[in-house]
Chains A and B, each alone.
Chain A
Amino acid sequence: MSWQAEILTELAARSPGGYEAAGPLASEPTALAALALAGAGRFAAAARCADWLQELQHRDGSLGVMAGQPAPQWPTSLAILAWHQLDRAADASDYSKPIACATKWALDSRGTTTERKQQIGHDTALVGWSWAADTHSWLEPTAFFVLALKAVGQGEHPRTREAMRLLFDRLLPNGGCNYGNTIVLGQPLLPHIQPTGIAMWALGGEEVQDHRIGLSLDYLEQQLSERTATASLCYGLLGLSANCRRPREAESWLEAAYRREQQRGPSCYKLALIALAATPRVARITNDELLTTGR
């Protein structure tokens, strides 16, 4: 059995799952698992995850971070993406209702804004999505909602377009991005791999003239290696793959990450990320979907 098949079998056995091997079941790991399993044709296991997410969905359409924690609701984006991917891969519409309900919630939900301040480099008036209710918009939740909304055909919605402007606005002057601050008190901040990968994934396929995109992809290429921590490696590869710059060594790096995780006692979260990044078709399917619906 190839390691790719091995990881899918192990992921299926650990899904729905959590951030830690023995941790509580959580929405983000389970949604990522559904996404990876559906993309690999493991429909029964993917459906188990998708159904669990549906059970967690509130009447307003949102999902909390884990069972028993109805807020915050930032993983709603990932659930939309997972349900959509499963329906699309299985050529079904089993999840059309939860998708519609969650999408409505997403479009009604917004991060807070403030007047622009000289001390802060980014445009604080742009609206994206926040981690928690009644707080500012930050990079990763905004990128996840952009991915979800583009996937379900809302790529031209004004909220999605503004959120994409926000993602561009949060890119650092020399490329890359972090949690979502660019310049504070005149000082440019440091880039990080994971948010850069997620932003590049979300912005994949966009036709824009912004030199920071190329710089961000360069940054990812320079940073990624066999030794890169698992989540950063996987999101970095998803970002590069969405922009047709997947490194030749990607598979060997991912296999190394899988072997490391096996020694640690793998979690659903890490397995799902590796499986997702290891299946270029999944990234491409998502990206193709974005290409056809996102413009």
Chain B
Amino acid sequence: MEPAPAQNRRFSRRSLLAAGGAAAVGVAAAPLLHEAIGGRASVFIARNQRYDGNLVKTIRDGLLATGIVPAALRGKRVLLKPNLVEPSRQIPHMTTHPAVIVAAAEVFREWGALVQVGEAPGHVRDTEMALDESGVAEALHDGGLTFADLNYEQVGWRRNRGKRSKLAGFFFPRSVLAADYVVSMPKLKTHHWVGVTCSMKNFYGVLPGIKYGWPKNVLHHNGIPQTVVDINASLPRTLAIVDAIDCMEGDGPILGSCKPMGLILVGNCLPAVDATAARVMGLEPSRIEYLAMASPALGPLAEARIEQRGETWQSVASPFQILNEPHLQQLRATPDGPLVT
């Protein structure tokens, strides 16, 4: 575990919002920007969150606290990308809750953005079924939001800017290419192959199944950690809003148990958001292969380089159960973390 930095002291919400506004840097995950600002990032954590609570305020506060300038969003196309990998009414803690999606949409709309929700479910070809089972269809209807089925849209090719895998480029759906900002809205979960799935891994779901398959086996064959980094490096500007209210532990990302955490995480640097999420889960970010590969080019992992806004990760940390498998055990921040068979 890295030593706790001075930045992890608690601040009041008011002072953090002021600091966020004063230090506003717009929104970016571009490698150059991270280098220019010395590889620092800020991540916001809100606790005691509920799906029937004031999520609009929480998300607005989080975006402001991590340096988002509302005026910069006016007239911009914002694509919200939830995780609807394999929705099931019996396992609501598998997928992003509709209330979080609708709340995020409201915030961006307030700021004058043109908001769309899009997803390319990775395990199901029937997207209508995915929307029904997740409850997102009803929420989109009620919220007057349009949905882009990223699995079947017209595609365009973009060069692989990450270059961790041998893939020369990616086919992205039209809605992704047209977006000014792509917002990763994952559910915080353990993942039985890579340890954690959060904002970076969630972007597997921007690639179209019609080109990459169900599952997106082209990516698996080119290395999951490598392609997670490459996709993130090749997208337009990105943000993260994490549904960590009811999370998944154990045999994630599909069949794990519900772990209520009551958290929302927000940030404009996805490796930093995911590193913070991993710490909350009791995992060591530098041992998560795709995070280690992403940093420093896409953002920092080290605590000393991540400014905590809102709550500190230490104050909300609660180790997640992970499967008793060697490749997962080694990810634990402490060797006595909980295991599940």
Q: Given A74, A189, A194, which contacts B126 in the complex, CB threshold below 8 Å?
A: A194
Chain A contacts for B132, CB-based, 8 A: 227, 229
Known contacts A23-B153, A138-B213, A194-B126; A187/B221 CB under 8 A: no
Q: Given A26, A135, A185, which contacts B323 in the complex, CB threshold below 8 Å?
A: A185
Task: Please tell me if B129 contacts chain A, counting CB pairs below 8 Å.
Answer: yes
Mask, A246-282, CB within 8 Å of B = 1, is 0000000000000000000000010000000000000
Which of A30-38, A126-134, A159-167 contacts its partner? A126-134
User: How far apart are the CA atoms of A40 and B337 in the complex, in Å?
Assistant: 62
Task: Please tell me if B292 contacts chain A, counting CB pairs below 8 Å.
Answer: no
Judge whether A231 and B217 touch: CB under 8 Å: no
Known contacts A136-B217, A138-B214, A187-B255; A26/B152 CB under 8 A: yes
Judge whether B254 and A72 touch: CB under 8 Å: no
Mask, B169-201, CB within 8 Å of A = 1, is 000000000000000000000001000000000
Task: Please tell me if B128 contacts chain A, counting CB pairs below 8 Å.
Answer: yes
User: How far apart are the CA atoms of A185 and B132 in the complex, in Å?
Assistant: 29
Known contacts A135-B218, A187-B255; A231/B192 CB under 8 A: no
Q: Which of A13-56 contact B (CB under 8 A)?
A: 18-20, 23-24, 26
Task: Please tell me if B210 contacts chain A, counting CB pairs below 8 Å.
Answer: yes
Q: Given B129, B217, B221, which contacts A229 in the complex, CB threshold below 8 Å?
A: B129
Task: Please tell me if B123 contacts chain A, counting CB pairs below 8 Å.
Answer: yes
Judge whether A229 and B128 touch: CB under 8 Å: yes
Chain A contacts for B152, CB-based, 8 A: 18-20, 23, 26, 269
Chain A contacts for B209, CB-based, 8 A: 131
Judge whether B217 and A132 touch: CB under 8 Å: yes
Judge whether B212 and A20 touch: CB under 8 Å: no
Mask, A174-213, CB within 8 Å of B = 1, is 0000110100110101101111000000000000000000
Q: Given B88, B155, B192, B218, which contacts A69 in the complex, CB threshold below 8 Å?
A: B155
Chain A contacts for B153, CB-based, 8 A: 20, 23
Chain A contacts for B218, CB-based, 8 A: 132, 135
Mask, A53-69, CB within 8 Å of B = 1, is 00000000000011001
Task: Please tell me if A230 contacts chain B, counting CB pairs below 8 Å.
Answer: yes
User: How far apart are the CA atoms of A72 and B128 in the complex, in Å?
Assistant: 23
Task: Please tell me if A232 contacts chain B, counting CB pairs below 8 Å.
Answer: yes
Known contacts A20-B149, A187-B255, A194-B124; A179/B215 CB under 8 A: yes
Mask, B323-341, CB within 8 Å of A = 1, is 1010000000000000000
**Smallest beta-carbon distance B171→chain A, Å:** 8
Task: Please tell me if B125 contacts chain A, counting CB pairs below 8 Å.
Answer: yes
Chain B contacts for A134, CB-based, 8 A: 221
Task: Please tell me if A169 contacts chain B, counting CB pairs below 8 Å.
Answer: no
User: How far apart are the CA atoms of A189 and B123 in the complex, in Å?
Assistant: 11
Mask, A110-150, CB within 8 Å of B = 1, is 00100000000000000000111011101010000000000
User: How far apart are the CA atoms of A187 and B192 in the complex, in Å?
Assistant: 11
Q: Given B149, B220, B251, which contacts A19 in the complex, CB threshold below 8 Å?
A: B149
Judge whether B128 and A230 touch: CB under 8 Å: yes
User: How far apart are the CA atoms of A231 and B86 in the complex, in Å?
Assistant: 15
**Smallest beta-carbon distance A105→chain B, Å:** 18
- Chain B residue nearest in CB terms to A231: B126
Q: Given A135, A181, A189, which contacts B221 in the complex, CB threshold below 8 Å?
A: A135
User: How far apart are the CA atoms of A232 and B124 in the complex, in Å?
Assistant: 10
Chain A contacts for B214, CB-based, 8 A: 131, 138, 140, 179
**Smallest beta-carbon distance B322→chain A, Å:** 11
User: How far apart are the CA atoms of A187 and B190 in the complex, in Å?
Assistant: 15
User: How far apart are the CA atoms of A21 and B256 in the complex, in Å?
Assistant: 37
Q: A185-B251, A230-B126 are in contact. List 4 more A-B contacts (CB 8 A).
A: A140-B125, A140-B214, A231-B125, A231-B126
Residues of B within 8 A of A (CB): 86, 88, 123-126, 128-129, 132, 149, 152-155, 192, 209-215, 217-218, 220-221, 251, 254-255, 323, 325
> Can you list 11 pairs linking A and B with CB atoms under 8 Å apart?
A19-B152, A132-B211, A135-B213, A138-B214, A140-B214, A179-B215, A190-B88, A194-B129, A228-B129, A230-B128, A231-B125
Nearest 3 interchain pairs by C-beta: A131-B213, A19-B152, A229-B129
